[in-house]
Structure 1
Amino acid sequence: MNISLRQLRVFVAVAEALSFTRAGEALGLPQSTVSTQLRELEDALGLRLFDRHTRMLRLTEAGAEILPLARKTLADLDAVVGSSAELKTLGRGRVSIAASSVQAAMVLPRVMRAFAERHPGIRVELFDVSQDEVLSMVHSGAVDFGLGTAFGSSPQELAMRALWHESFFAVLPEGHPLAARRELAWRDLLAEPLIGPRKGNPVRTVLDFALASEGLVLTLRHEASLPLTIAGMVEGGLGIGILTSSMRQLAEALRLQLRPIHRPTIQREVVLVLHTGRSLSPAAKQFSDALIAWSRTASNPSGRAARR
């Protein structure tokens, strides 16, 4: 059985107008086309849908039973077409993002607010998770894309797009002797009680690899999974924290002192994590483009957001 949507539209129009001529006018079709489409539909169904008289057209019992089904089919199709148009024009939609805790707290809210002002019909769902979970959630399809530190090794299906770089800072409690210096070298910190990310954390991996190339080994007195915990430990007097520039705003709110660390200068790369086997929805593509555009502005040293 081969029934077209055009045939169903003709059938509904004729049933409502009870006239081939008026139905053709409503559909913008000649009467001959209306008659042909209706006859082909009756042939495909093996049913007579109308009783035809010289000056009268009336639905048969079969036609009366099929009419509401035809109307629902056309209404459902129109709803699908309307929804797809809304999705395409960003009238509505959903974006899901997995981000490491720092990016989720200190970066993405700014982008989300600006995006919501332009696209109020799109819901943005943010998952603040560990660095490792960013990869697994993108890989499994639980989220559209992720945001985190560049990973040395990752599943083949994942691609990473560089967004910006962040430098490392020593986070010191008020009154610490090293706070009198404008900047520090890594060797200045080796004898201090240090607080930083746990082994296996991509940020820690970046640090260990870069320092090893200079013959330095980073020994931490305390390790933590979350940057907020590191800042809290510093504020509590447990030592000097090692954090990236994205934590500047929070550290300053805790009245901690930040000093850049050089010799060597180490940076971690923040990336957009995408799945190569899945295309982004129009809403997710628009948000990722907005994030990329924001990162270019924020990376400008003269820009306000460069204080990350």
Structure 2
Amino acid sequence: MSITLRQLEVFVAVSEEGSLTRAGDVLGLPQSSISKQLKELEDLLGLKLFDRHTRMLRLTEGGMEILPLAKKTLADLDAMLDGSAQLKTLERGRVSIAASSMQAALVLPRMVKAFSEMHPGIRIELLDVTQDDVIQMVSGGAVDFGVGSAFGDHGDLSMKTLWSEPFFAVVQQDHALARKKSVTWKELQKFPLIGSRKGNPVRTALEFSLASEGISLKYVHEVALPLTTIGMVAGGLGVGILTGSTRRLSESLGLLFKPILQPKLEREVVLVLHSARSLSPAAKKFSDALVSWTSLKKSRFNEEDNVHRFCNVCYQFGCSLTHQH
């Protein structure tokens, strides 16, 4: 037989009240049950915990040594139960997200802000990393989930499509393609191109799709981050191959976005989850809201419109704060 929490509660109550009857009143138990629980505890410990003095009970020396340990055990349990209740009701918690650099910089911040305002006790950690790092960090358990692109089978990971982004050619205003409304992939073969490094999930998916059309692109510069591509285009080093999430930043530098057609291809942004691990209540709340928000989209990705939709979805998830953007 093991020591029970009820036995510890009885011991502490009797020590504080000095009486079996009053301890029974505090705990809502009959005196016979109090006596039984106390006797069982003494037998398990091999110690006499109380001396009877007239109608009062006084702690023995052994009882005085055990009392603070019993109180701490009960206090730790209360703290654990209170903490678990706070986690369940989203009064506190932590969410860690690994996101590809452009998603972390241009798409997710205002969603994080909206969620944080609704649940101020939850700390959200947003890590901006490369596409490959998103996969590795989720797989290794460094983060709750990731937002990025994926290509191929990753075994222990599951992917949920969030939204799709079309590809664009990014050029300077005086470039030969600047006056065209759109360009084709075959046209781009004539120009020096700037894009992701070989092995990047976005580039891998793009090359796979273009190969079925008999198109192969040659890059003069291969970079790890879209921001570097934007900078190189602005510096006149070539034509950038980027997706829609980078549009606002590119245009703020005076660059032009040209839709690429024939064929029109899109990159899928996915929620990356570990199949064998469950999410904390806070992480599940955020990921569920993110999935629901993106499921409302019926057309091309539009950041401004969808931040509003994210807030509306969060409201439907039980949040009462009104947001203005």
TM-score normalized by structure 2? Answer: 0.90
Residue 38 of structure 2: aligned partner: 38
Give yes or no for contact 2:195–2:222 (8 Å, CA) kept in 1. yes
Structure 1 pair 231/302, CA: closer, same or farther in 2 (3 Å)? Answer: closer
Asked if 1:65 is matched to 2:62, the reply is no
In the TM superposition, what whole-angstrom CA distance separates every residue of 1:168-191 from its partner, at most 9, and x where no partner exists?
001111132322122111122211
Alignment of 1:277-292 (within 5 A): 277-292=276-291
* Cα distance between partner residues in 2 of 1:175 and 1:141: 47
CA separation in 2, counterparts of 1:259 and 1:79?
A: 58
Number of equivalences:
307
Match of 1:241 in 2: 240
Contact 1:298–1:304, Cα closer than 8 Å, also in 2:
no
Deviation of 1:74 (Å): 0.7
**CA deviations over 1:136-185 (Å, ceiling 9, x no partner):** 1111111111111122232x111111111110001111132322122111
In the alignment, what sits opposite 1:88?
Answer: 88
Letter in 1 for 2:58: R
Query: In the alignment, does 2:252 pair up with 1:273?
Result: no
**Partner in structure 2 of residue 296 of structure 1:** 295
CA displacement at 1:46 relative to structure 2: 1.7
Find the counterpart in structure 2 of residue 166 from structure 1.
165
SS across alignment from 2:273: strand
8 Å contact from structure 1 (residues 116, 122) kept in 2? yes
- Residue aligning to 2:200: 201
Question: Which residue is equivalent to 2:21?
Answer: 21
Identity level (%) = 63
Shift of 1:297: 4.1
3-state DSSP of counterpart to 1:16 = helix
- C-alpha contact 1:297 1:303 (8 A) present in aligned 2: no
Distance 1:303 1:252 in 2: 15
How far 1:300 sits from its partner (Å)? 4.5
Could you tell me which amino acid in structure 2 is paired with residue 137 of structure 1?
M
Q: Counterpart in 1 of 2:218?
A: 219
1:305 deviation in Å?
Answer: 3.5
Q: Distance in 2 between matches of 1:87 and 1:305?
A: 31
Shift of 1:30: 1.6
Q: Distance in 1 between matches of 2:229 and 2:18?
A: 77
3-state SS of paired residue (2:219)? coil
C-alpha distance 147-262 of structure 1, shift in aligned 2 (>3 A): same
| 8 Å Cα contact 2:166/2:264 also seen in 1 | yes
SS of equivalent to 2:177: helix
Alpha-carbon distance in 2 for matches of 1:86, 1:267: 41
Superposition deviation, residue 56 in structure 1: 2.3
Q: Quote the offset at 1:232 in angstroms.
A: 0.5
Deviations 1:222-275 (A, max 9, x none): 211110010111111111111000101111111111011110011111111111
Q: Distance in 2 between matches of 1:301 and 1:151?
A: 21
The alignment partner of 2:99 has SS state of strand
1:182 aligned onto 2:154: no
- Backbone CA RMSD of aligned residues: 1.8
Q: Secondary structure at the match of 2:36?
A: helix
Asked if the contact 1:298–1:305 (Cα under 8 Å) also holds between the matched residues in 2, the reply is no
Quick one: structure 1 residues 299 and 95, their matched pair in 2 at CA, closer, same or farther if it must change by over 3 Å? Answer: farther
In 1, the alpha carbon distance for the partners of 2:294 and 2:32 equals 61
Amino acid in structure 2 at the alignment position of 1:210: S
The amino acid that maps onto 1:280 is: L
Please tell me whether residue 133 in structure 1 is matched to residue 133 in structure 2: yes
Unaligned stretches of 5+ in structure 1? none
Determine if contact 1:172/1:234 at 8 Å carries over to the other structure: yes
Does the CA-based 8 Å contact 1:172-1:241 persist in structure 2?
Answer: yes
1:54 CA drift (Å): 4.3
1:229 aligns with 2:219: no
Residue pair 1:150, 1:268 contacting (<8 A) in 2 also? no
Contact conserved, 2:207 with 2:216, CA < 8 A, in 1? yes
Q: Which residue of 1 aligns with 2:79?
A: 79
Partners of 1:20 and 1:300 in 2: how far apart?
72
Shift of the alpha carbon at 1:302?
Answer: 9.3
